[in-house]
Amino acid sequence: MSESSVFHEQNQLLSALPDTAKKRIFPKLKLVEMKLGDVIYESGQAIEFVYFPTNCIISLLYVMMNGSSAEISVVGKEGMAGIAVFMGGDSTPSRTVVQSKGYAYRMPAQELKNEFDFSPEVRVLTLRYTQSLITQMSQTAVCNRHHSIDQQLCRWLLLSLDRLPDNQLTMTQELIANMLGVRREGVTEAAGKLQDLGIIQYRRGHINVTDRPGLEALSCECYAVVKRETDRLASGYSNY
């Protein structure tokens, strides 16, 4: 997807804004390229901009003192990165990186905070999205504690697919292991099982999901919980 084919309505939050809010907010947005691996927030860093993805995926990671990490949540076309600016904080304890390249609309954080304080419609929309993000974070914690690497990989792949325009992911097994907070060997074994079953094709950092129903069948219930809550809250966007 080229820059010329990216537009505001590809982000569900921006698309759901009432026309009066769009007229105020859209001129303050800047389309920016999001490259794989780009760090947009570091832990404790003041948030200067918020990001509304269109066709990229942003990952929130918690990084331990020894350098190990685990993904807390993913953000794509359904939402935004930088909720701390209207939740009472100016920074976040997590690192925020680009998991899948593409484009996003960037907005000064203070401008969004002003809109949050001024507009009830913007406030309701962003808080609904925040609730869905909290659900994802909570379910991820449960999944990481109680489910196998095989199930975690299936959940992660499905959450990523929901935020991409096709069934293609560009991601090395090492990066997936960092996201899941597991050993690379575990991801290699789990991905090999999926490939043997004909559910994915993996080659040189490119993953093609060829059997999504099969992937959903092998995933734990955590994916369905997150998907159901995201869809439920997003369905209310049309009311604003």
Q: What is the mean pLDDT of residues 24-37?
A: 94
In this structure, the strands spanning 57-63 and 95-100 are antiparallel
Q: What is the mean pLDDT of residues 36-64?
A: 91
pLDDT at 240 over 60: no
pLDDT band at 235 (very low <50, low <70, confident <90, very high): confident
- CATH architecture assigned to 3-119: Sandwich (2.60)
Instruction: Quickly list DSSP for 111-142.
Output: HHHHHHHH-HHHHHHHHHHHHHHHHHHHHHHH
What per-residue confidence (pLDDT) applies to 1?
59
* 1 contacts 67 by C-beta, under 8 angstroms: no
Closest to 132 measured CA to CA, from 59, 60, 230 = 230
For the stretch 68-87, pLDDT in tens is 778 888 999 999 999 999 98
**Displacement of CA 28 from its chain's centroid (Å):** 22
> Edge-to-edge strand order for the sheet containing 102-108?
30-34, 102-108, 49-53
pLDDT at 115 over 80: yes
Residue spans in the chain of domains classed CATH 1.10.10.10? 145-226
> Could you tell me the fold of the domain covering 145-226?
Arc Repressor Mutant, subunit A (1.10.10)
Taking the CA of residue 104 as centre, how many other CA atoms within 13 Å lie in the half-sphere pointing to its CB? Answer: 31
What per-residue confidence (pLDDT) applies to 3?
67
Residue spans in the chain of domains classed CATH 2.60.120.10? 3-119
The radius of gyration of the chain's CA atoms, rounded to the nearest angstrom, is 18
Average pLDDT, the chain: 88
pLDDT band at 176 (very low <50, low <70, confident <90, very high): confident
pTM for this structure?
0.89
For the stretch 186-203, pLDDT in tens is 888 998 899 999 999 988
Percent of the chain with pLDDT over 70: 96
What per-residue confidence (pLDDT) applies to 93?
82
What per-residue confidence (pLDDT) applies to 238?
57
In terms of pLDDT, which residue wins out, 21 or 43? 21
Number of other residues whose CB lies within 10 A of the CB of residue 130: 16
